[in-house]
Amino acid sequence: MGYGADAAKRHGGVGRIDLRSDTVTHPTPEMRAAMASAEVGDDVFEDDPTVVELEERAADLLGKQAGLFVPSGTMGNLVSLMAHVARGGEVITPAEGHIPNDEAANYAVVVGAGLRPIAETPEGEMPLDAIEEAIQDGSDPHSAITSLVVVENCHAHTFSRPITPAYMKALRGRLAAKKIPIHVDGARLFNAAIALGVPARDLVRDADSASFCLSKGLAAPIGSVVVGSKEFIWTARRARKLLGGGMRQVGILAAAGLVALSDGPEGTVQRLADDHVNARRLAEAMTEMPGVLSPGHIAQPIGERLDPSRVATNFVIFKVEGGVKRRAKFLEQLEKRGVLMVAYPHGQIRAVTHYGIGASEIDATIAATREALRASA
């Protein structure tokens, strides 16, 4: 299906109002300034002071012993799997999650792991009983051994809804006796923290490791950070090297991440709240438009009309009447009006708010959506 590469090409990589993803954000002026003046060293020797500072800052924010800067969220998940899972081990993941669907089967190709996908609830949670039922120990020679449980927070395909600390605690309770570790794919962990009004560390307290992306709503140009125990991070560091992800004077990039995580006005964590307000307003306007339907899938399986109360963070997921043919026409008409959204699995469409999308862009998107619906009917 792709994520709108053709549209990006037509726009020279920059849509006028580009709601395909929060990955399209450009760095803030403060980030560019910090990058230009960053102190650097050779990070493979672990002597890039800016990278060290970022890793310590991330570990501190998330209440873990150590951090590791990696180029992408995909690599963050991959090195975590490599550190937790022995060849032939099995990973329990949400069925619609990023790891099983959007990481080119790296769990199989690189880790040599099997997956046990579990259908999520509309809240993005795998039911605890289903997890417990899926667990396999080494007592049966037929079975792979359950080696890791992954939680995605926010869970993208359910309107990027945040997973609560209470769920994490209950999950930990079920797994503790079996000594199965938990990894949080927290690509948008700070969106979850802001939406729930809790410190980000509360969301990963009951996890052994977590990764989060600097390059999505936090607006840094590149990078993710993996956090966990010192021992885990050492193994993940070796895995990063194996994958060719050991970088040199990469403090230039880490500097932008430090700005993102800053407590000062230049930080980009608190501003995520604006994205959530904007997404909700867009959904509220869209629900009134003839031709807009609910996603009809796990994001909102019940009800014909898009329910704006499902929007807890920065994703709006919906369908248009008339199936995928109409969807293609609608997206084309929208693009003609300078707005990009993206086709999403199961016939859905996704619009994501982010840094650079303010109230006036939302007004323009609402108007363009209304017109595109008419023109594609």
Q: What residues line the site for ligand PLP (CB under 6 A)?
A: 72-74, 77, 98, 152, 156, 185, 187, 213, 215, 224
Tell me whether residue 74 or residue 278 sits nearer to ligand PLP (CB atom).
Answer: 74
CB of 314 to ligand PLP, least distance (A): 12
Tell me whether residue 156 or residue 298 sits nearer to ligand PLP (CB atom).
Answer: 156
CB of 188 to ligand PLP, least distance (A): 7
Number of other residues whose CB lies within 10 A of the CB of residue 133: 10
Tell me whether residue 20 or residue 370 sits nearer to ligand PLP (CB atom).
Answer: 20
Residue showing tokens 């020279």: 12
Tell me whether residue 252 or residue 368 sits nearer to ligand PLP (CB atom).
Answer: 252
Answer whether 172's CB lies under 8 Å from 206's CB: yes
Query: 3-class DSSP state for residue 12?
Result: coil
Tell me whether residue 315 or residue 318 sits nearer to ligand PLP (CB atom).
Answer: 315
Nearest CA among 332, 344, 335, 333 for reference residue 295 = 344
361: Cβ–Cβ under 8 A, 6 or more apart, which residues? Answer: 17, 278
Answer whether 21's CB lies under 8 Å from 342's CB: yes
Tell me whether residue 260 or residue 292 sits nearer to ligand PLP (CB atom).
Answer: 260
41 class by beta-carbon count within 10 Å (0-12 exposed, 13-18 middle, 19+ buried): middle
Please name the helix (run of DSSP H) or strand (run of DSSP E) that holds residue 32, with its range, or none: helix 29-36
CB of 247 to ligand PLP, least distance (A): 15
Residue with the CB atom nearest ligand PLP in the bound state: 73
CB of 163 to ligand PLP, least distance (A): 11
CB of 298 to ligand PLP, least distance (A): 14
| CA 21/CA 31 separation, integer angstroms | 20
CB of 161 to ligand PLP, least distance (A): 12
